[in-house]
């Protein structure tokens, strides 16, 4: 089964040139710089703007997937929820909206991010300096659709692994901070000690 058989694929909002930022604009624009680790939309960092015409604008909805159309990693990130403002994606994204009840957006996003799908997109990307993928390439991406129960189990497992990853990262940071504190304590109490600015103190001339 191909992606185009289970979802619609549209390009991001067609801004002409640079996106005009308006401090109190009523529309939120998600750009590639607003995605953290290719997984999370950093809503507070998103630019705001105003659109000349809102008619026929297809606003982002929870469950939509934003797939990067250019770069070295064609990641997919799910739109979870956002502020009361209406939101659109920048042109460098494809907006994928699932049309089948037999597939979970969270599962589909996870699958697109896995190595087999990424390899397919990389092999079919075009360009020399900056690679990009066409909509028909993304639409022809092979998709496996297991049962909903298995999809839910996979999504639950992935969430658990990500939480474990966060905890391990925090533990590593704490361990490094402890080692740094121990070293600083030793150096501050020894002859020729090093202060916080990295300057050696107490040496004899």
Tens-digit pLDDT profile for the chain (205 aa)? 999 999 999 999 999 888 989 988 889 999 999 998 878 899 999 999 998 777 778 899 999 999 999 988 999 999 987 666 799 999 999 999 999 999 999 999 999 999 999 999 999 999 988 999 999 999 999 999 999 999 999 999 988 887 777 788 788 888 988 888 888 887 777 666 666 566 666 555 5
> If residue 86 lies in a helix (H) or strand (E), which one and from where to where?
strand 86-89
User: Mutual orientation of helices 105-113 and 148-188 as an angle, nearest 10°?
Assistant: 60
CATH of domain 3-144: 3.90.220.20
**What's the confidence (pLDDT) of residue 198?**
60
Q: Is the pTM of this model over 0.85?
A: no
- Among residues 109, 99, 91, the alpha carbon closest in space to that of 155 is found at 109
Q: Which two tokens stand for residue 38?
A: 């290719």
Beta-ladder partners of 77: 66
What contacts 45, CB < 8 A, 6 or more positions away?
33, 34
């Amino acid at each position: 089964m191909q992606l185009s058989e289970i979802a619609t694929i549209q390009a991001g909002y067609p801004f002409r040139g640079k996106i005009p930022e308006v401090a109190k604009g009523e529309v939120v624009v998600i750009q590639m710089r607003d995605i953290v680790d290719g997984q999370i939309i950093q809503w507070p960092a998103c630019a705001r703007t105003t659109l000349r015409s809102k008619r026929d604008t297809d606003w982002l909805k929870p469950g939509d997937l934003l797939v990067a159309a250019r770069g070295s990693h064609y990641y997919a990130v799910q739109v979870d929820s956002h502020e009361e403002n209406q939101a659109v994606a920048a042109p460098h994204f494809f907006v994928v909206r699932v049309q089948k009840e037999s597939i979970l957006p969270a599962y589909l996003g996870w699958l697109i991010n896995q190595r087999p799908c990424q390899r397919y997109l990389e092999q079919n990307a075009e360009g020399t300096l900056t690679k990009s993928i066409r909509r028909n390439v993304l639409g022809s991406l092979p998709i496996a659709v297991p049962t909903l129960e298995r999809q839910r189990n996979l999504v639950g497992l992935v969430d658990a692994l990500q939480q474990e990853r966060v905890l391990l990262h925090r533990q590593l940071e704490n361990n490094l901070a402890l080692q740094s504190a121990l070293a600083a304590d030793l150096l501050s109490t020894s002859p020729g000690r090093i202060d916080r600015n990295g300057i050696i103190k107490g040496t004899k001339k």
